[in-house]
Structures are given as structure tokens and as C-alpha cells.
Structure 1
Amino acid sequence: MKNLLISTALLTATSTMAFADDHKFMAEADPMAIQASEFIGQRIYTTSTEVNPEGYEGVQQDWEDIGEVHDIVLSRDGNIQSVLVDIGGFLGIGERQVAVDMDALKMVSDSATAEDDADYFLVMQAEVAELKNAPAYEHTAMNDLGNRAEQVADNTATAVENTAEDLENSAQAVADNVGEAVNDATAEVKETTAEVKSEMGEMQREGFETVQGDKLTAEMLTGARAYDAKDEWMGEVSDLVMNDKGEITHAIVDVGGFLGIGEKPVKLDLNQIEVLHETGGDEVRVYLPMTEDKLKGMDAYEG
């Protein structure tokens, strides 16, 4: 329906142009022709006063916008019988679809756009009571099926849009709780999930076991390879910070760089990291509950 060409020959109320009997095809568009794709979606205005056929300069103050053209209904001989209009929220009128007789609509020129001779308004002369009492349009079974399919598509698109918006809002809320700004909602949700798992001690690696804090030594930690929340190697422990009791409180991890060049040391509380020792072996690994990009964004440690 929306690809159907409605010429001014079809809109008999606004034109007397017609094809000759021996012509079956139109070679070029009439300058005043109207396509259905343009006609559908047009706003319709109503006024209780008589409509001036000469046209108006812009929308008039006494006009009320009652809705837009949803579809058109054609007779078998190709004439437009009526225009389907979605009305709702107009002076207390409930939402519904009504069929407006094409003869009741006036296509009046808009002189405010002098550069466009074909520009027009759709205006109908009607009282508010008429619109309130207008019956809802009953579709045929075939039309109803098409409309339901279109409504399902619209609802699905709306649901997808709402779901995406909800996910984005949820990701923003998580970021706010940890004092971080969200640049990429999906990446932030994944990173936050990794942080929570690490804090709960659920991050387990096959062949390795967690080393308790009272068993940690400087010799064990210094030089240990460090992995980020994505389980990717991103540096190593270069130094340790101890308190006046000789207890290890922080680890200095060199992140980034290549072959020791361009590395940046960052200071991490020992409670933020998980130390794993190879079962039956000597390898020690340090796992950090954040991504390498986040670590690179931290201030460099100056000890």
C-alpha cells in the first residue's frame, strides 16, 4: 500500500487530470502528483469554521491536530473511499482508528512555502462532537491480519529498544555504584562481573590453588606474572610494600610496555589481588580484578 502511486488523477477532489483511453502508462510525474508514501503519515487538522479553498499561510490558530494518515481505503474502481486516521489524546478523545471520507478532507495550499507549489494541508471541517462520536473503523479479516502483523513488528521494535535502554541504564547504575563512568555499557557489565567474582574468591584456575595471606612471602611474589580480569597476562610484580611490622600490604605491578620498555608501575592493595600457586610446582600467578586498560588508567606509583 505504501508504494502505491497516488496521482492527482486518483485524488479526484484536487485534479481533473486523467489518462487518455489509448495511454496505459505515464512517462513522467505530474508536478502536483502525490505519492502514497508521502500521503501516509500526513497530519490532519480539523476546524469548525469553513475551509478557505484558496489556501492558508501556515497552520492556523483555530486548527486542531487530530492525528495522522495511517492508511487509505480504495474502491475497486481505483478511487479513494476513505482515509484511515489514528486519533487519540485530542480533547479527551480516546485512542482509536477512524475512517474519514475523502470528500470530507480538503487539500489546501500552504502559501508559507511559496517555493513549493505542491505543499498542502489536509483539513476537515468538523465539530469536536462529531469526532468524539465517530465510530472506530472495523477492518476486514485480511486487513486486520496485516495490521496485527504491523503492530507486532512495531511492538517488537519497541520492546527491543526498551530492552536495550534498560540494559544501558543497568550498566550505568553499576558503574555509578563503583564510582566509574560508562563508555561501553556491555564491556562495563562484563568487567564488573569479573570484579565481583574475584572479590568472592570464585576465580579458580586448574592446577593452581589460592595462597593464604599468612603464607605469602616477598620471594614468592616478586617477579610473579600478573593477569587481568580477562585472564590475559599484562605484567609482573616488580616490588612490594611492607608496614612497620614487616607485613606485606601492597604489591607494585608493572603494566603495559614491551620487553620492559614503557611499563608503568601501579600500586595495588594486597586485598585486591589473588595469589595462586601451582599445585606441586613453583609457578606463582597474581590475578587482578580489573582489565589492563583500567590498570593503565591508574596513577603511576612513585616510591
Structure 2
Amino acid sequence: MRKLLMTTAVAVAMGAPAMAATETEGFVTQTEAGDFYGSELIGKRLYVSEAEVDAEAEWTEEQRAEWDDVGEINDIIIGDDGEVKAVLLDIGGFLGMGEKTVAVNMDQLKFVSETAEADDYFIVVQGSEAMLENAPEFDMAAVSPNGAVDETMPNDDVAATEMDEDAMTPGDEMAEAEATMENAADEAGEEMAEAGDEIENAAENAGEEVAEAGNAVENAAENAADEAGEELAEAGNAIENTADNVEAEVSEEMAEADAEMTDEEMMAEEEMAATDDTAGGWATPEVARDGYETVQSIDLTAEMLEGTYVYGADEENVGEIADLVLSEDGQIQAALIDVGGFLGIGEHRIEVDFEELQVLREQGGNSVEVHISATKDQLEERPAYDG
């Protein structure tokens, strides 16, 4: 849309106090209170309110919610005398109407301040949406290049001097252009038809070539599959024969090895197995005693366990708990048990995982018993604790 005003930094008076100017040179040096820049108004949203709007009053958000956003300011029309004649408004987007441009006088606009800041304001038109819908549209075609409505153009004399009798009218030019376009369209249609025939012929030839290639590929695939099948069958037979031979050889070697095992080797294996059982952990015992119940490590303290006797698989006293090993989170991880010795002499201290122990506590009391599935001899065979 053609602009009627260059939106530069030149300040435009909107019916407010005039800008200050020097007396001798006639230049404006600064704006005064109430002045606006034209560039500030271009693109500013426009609201319409049926209720009477007092620009000096303070408006709440609830009151402003009743205003309707109907468009924006498009441009400003300034007369030769420098006064603002009208403001162009782009209205549209409501009541099913399309966008159109209307011009209103400046005195129809209300500049309503929202805060104390000078540039924080709303622009409101007093009226209704129907009023703007029925407003006459501004005729942009009637505006001359210099921004003023041209009302002085002569009719017959100017037309007679400026128009050549032999000049082609716009209608003739359009008819000639349409004929040229029709001829171009006919030529393009013929070329497209020829190109289509060529493409169709090429597609048929390509189809035949693809079919021939497909048959060749299919035949080659069948031949390759037959050859591969024969090779796989031969390889399978060879593998099967080899596996049978290997299995027979392994069976013979194992039988010979079994026959060569001596009684001493069998005894050595038995001794190693016994040693492994001794070095390994013991299962948690499941001793049941009237008046006692099994308790978990989280319910026990070091004070309750230290110095407590440990009873072995045959219910004999196999040692006593000397100390506890705790994890980083404070849970009992293992117990240090003193095994053997007399009056503290010759004792053998070992570490036993707490899961290998069963702790019984007297119901209603603090008396505890500790049980383990190992015998005293088995405990003494465990390596000494080196902590």
C-alpha cells in the first residue's frame, strides 16, 4: 500500500501544543509535552469502544477488556499547511468483513495513557464495530503522487492534447497480449505432446530392456543357487564325517585317560575337594530353641555380641566373638572369632562372614547365642585374620 507520509524522525503535531522553534531561523529544536512522532503511530493497534472514553481518566484492565481490537494505523495524511488532515486505519478481521482502509479525523482518536510514561498509551475510536464496518473506504487511487487529492485535472482539453489518436488503448493492448499468450500456449501444447510421445516410446523400450535384464538375472540366480546348494551339500557331508571322526578319537582318548588314573591321583582329588569345602563358606544354621528367636544384624549391637560364645555343629563351644567388622553404612559385615587356646593363650583369630552365623536372642530379654555350622577343627583350619 502506497505511503502518504515518510515516517522519519520529523515530529508531527497531533492537535497538541506546537513544537518549540527558534524565533529567527524557524527550526524545531525539541518536542514539547503532548507531541508525537509519526513513526510511533504507524502500526499502532487501534481499539474501538462504545462506552465514552475520557483520555484524562485512569482506566483499569477490566475496563480496557471491553475495548475491541479492530486494526492498526496505516499512515497519516498531512495537508499543504502542515496540519494533520486525517489518519488512515486498516480495519478488518471482525464480523466477517475483509480488511479495508478508512480515514478518520484526528479529533475522533482518543490517546489514553496507561502509565505515567509518555509513550505508553492506547489509541481508541469512540463508536462501535458496526460504525467502522459501514464507514466508506478510503480511495487510494484518487491520490496524486505528491500526496494530495487531485481535483484540478481538466477533462476534454487535457485528454485531447495528451492522447494520440493512433495510440493503442489499454483494451487493444490486452487483446493483443491475450492473442500472443494463446499462440504461445498452442505452441507449448504441441511441444508437450511431442515430448509425451517421445517419453512414452522411451518407456516402452526401457520396459523391454528391463524385462530382458530381469530374465537374465533370474536365470543367473537359479544357476548360482543350484551350484551353491551342491557345494553346501558336499561341505555338510565333509563336516559330518569329520565330526564323527573327532568324536571317536576323543572318546578313545578319554577312555585311555580314565584307565591311566591311579589310586593316588583319586585320593589327591578327594583331599583337594575336602580342602575346598573347608576353605569355603558354611551354610547358615537353623537352630531352634524354646524361648529364643532368630534376629537380623540390623537389630544387634557390638555390645550385645562381643564376648559371646559361638556354638558349632555339634553344639560344642568352638570360640567367642572378639570383634565385629562393619561396612561403610554401619551394617555388620563379618565377625572376628577367637578359636582354641586357653586363657587367651594360643588363640586363633579368624574372620567369618556374618551370613554364616545364626544369632538367637531370648524373647523379652537381651541374652543372645551365636551358632555356626562348622566344627572347631574346621574353624582352626581357616587362615588367621590379618587385619
TM-score tier (shorter):
0.3 to 0.5
TM-score between the two structures when normalised by the length of structure 1: 0.43
Q: Which has the higher helix share?
A: 2
Q: Which has the higher strand share?
A: 1
TM-score between the two structures when normalised by the length of structure 2: 0.35
Rg (Cα) greater in structure: 2
